[in-house]
Amino acid sequence: MNDSFTDTTDLCTSCIATSCKRRGFVHDPSHVLLKFDNIILDVRLRWIIPKARSLIIRIREELRYSLKNTIKPVEKGSSFLSSQTNNEMPTAATAPKCRCCDKDIFLPCWVCLFCKMDAYICDECGAEMKQSLPNNSHKLGEPLLRISDYAPRMEVVATEEKLAILYIKNLTQLISDSQLWKTESRVDSRRLKQY
C-alpha cells in the first residue's frame, strides 16, 4: 500500500482467492486484506494500517503453532503412551475458535482489529457476515484483517542463472568502459594535435 492509501481495490468474496489486475495493481491471493463495511477516513487509516501490519506476523505464527501442536496420532508401539486412547497425544496448544460459529480456525481467516482479545472469524462466517455468538465482544462491521496461508510468490532463480546475469552485466559494463576509454583517447589525441 502506498503512503497516501489511495491504491485500494474492492473485491467480492468470490474474487479474494483469485488473482486480478486493476489500475496497474495486481491482487494476489497471498496479499493480506483489510475489510471495511463503511468508509474509513485517511486519519483512521494512519493508525489502522500499522496496527494491521503488526498483527499479521503474530497471528500467522500463532495459527501455525496451534496447527503444528494440535493432537496428532502417535506410533502404536510406543510404551510411553500406552494409556492414551486412540493413540493420540494431547498438547497444550489448541486452535482458536471462530467468534461466530465456534469452529476451529485455520488459515485463511479474518481477525478483528478493534477487539482487545483476538477475535477470529472463519472464512465462511466472514463471507456471510454472520453475527458473533452471544457473550462475545466482537461486533459486526468492525474492520477485519484477512490473513491467508499462501506464501507470497517468489521467483526462484538458480545460482547459475544469477551468475550468468552478473557476468553479462559485468561484460556490458566492461564494453561500455572500453568504448568510453577509446572515445576519451580520441578526444585527448585531437587536443594534443591542436597544440
For 48-89, how does the pLDDT look when each residue is reduced to its tens digit (9 = 90+)?
888 888 888 788 778 777 766 654 444 434 443 444 444 444
Q: Are 20 and 11 in contact (CB under 8 A)?
A: yes
Identify the residue with better confidence: 84 or 27. 27
Q: Are 109 and 146 in contact (CB under 8 A)?
A: yes
Percentage with pLDDT > 90 across the chain: 1
pTM of the model: 0.57
- Above 60 in pLDDT, residue 183? yes
Identify the residue with better confidence: 7 or 52. 52
- Above 80 in pLDDT, residue 22? no
The beta strands (E) that lie in 65-105 are given as 72-73, 88-89
Phi/psi at 134 (5° precision): -60, 155
Pick the closest to residue 96 from 64, 141, 142, 54 (CA basis).
64
Report CA-CA distances (Å) from 166 to 19, 139, 155, 160, 169.
32, 55, 17, 10, 5
Burial of 134 (0-12, 13-18, 19+ CB in 10 A): exposed
Residue 129 pLDDT? 77
Give the contacts of 131 (CB within 8 A, at least 6 positions apart): 100, 140
Identify the residue with better confidence: 43 or 92. 43
What is the C-alpha to C-alpha distance for residues 176 and 157, in angstroms, rounded to an integer?
A: 27
Residue 1 pLDDT? 57
Residue 177 pLDDT? 86
Three-class HEC string of 104-131: ECCCCEEEECCCCCCCEEEHHHHHHCCC
- Above 70 in pLDDT, residue 145? yes
Other CB atoms within a 10 A radius of the CB of residue 61 amount to 10
